[in-house]
Amino acid sequence: MSKRVLIVDDAAFMRMMIKDILSKNGFEVVGEAPDGAQAVEKYKELTPDLVTMDITMPEMDGIAALKEIKQINSDAKVIMCSAMGQQAMVIDAIQAGAKDFIVKPFQADRVIEAIQKVLD
């Protein structure tokens, strides 16, 4: 059965790009959210196998959303999507329970590699 993924990013083109990479590699994208608050709601509703989480977003950022998701399910698998220069936030995210991170601009093989490693 294909793994179910929730994609979180405030940029629609980023969500589309990640969705495209995942769909072509046998994953099922079950939902998308444009900010952290909606990400937490969608996580509860959909209970995905994995979340890709942008860091910089309006309403609630990716690190705050990660922390809430980990409170809902301490085993939640969340991969952070960071931009260049966000190393400090990536460290915060890993300490808060993120499983890995991928850096923008995304390379499809790196995205798939990170996701497969986390799901194994």
Q: List residues near Mg ion by CB under 5 A.
A: 10, 54, 56-57
- Nearest-approach distance from CB 45 to Mg ion, in angstroms: 22
- CB closer to Mg ion, 2 vs 87: 87
Q: Are strands 78-82 and 28-33 parallel, antiparallel or unpaired?
A: unpaired
- Nearest-approach distance from CB 9 to Mg ion, in angstroms: 6
- Nearest-approach distance from CB 10 to Mg ion, in angstroms: 4
Contacts from 19-23 at CB under 8 Å and sequence distance 24+? 21/106, 21/108, 21/111, 21/112, 22/111, 22/115
- CB closer to Mg ion, 31 vs 34: 34
- Nearest-approach distance from CB 94 to Mg ion, in angstroms: 18
What gap in Å lies between CA 110 and CA 107, rounded to an integer? 5
What gap in Å lies between CA 88 and CA 46, rounded to an integer? 30
- CB closer to Mg ion, 52 vs 115: 52
Do 65 and 37 contact (CB within 8 A), yes or no?
A: yes
- CB closer to Mg ion, 3 vs 59: 59
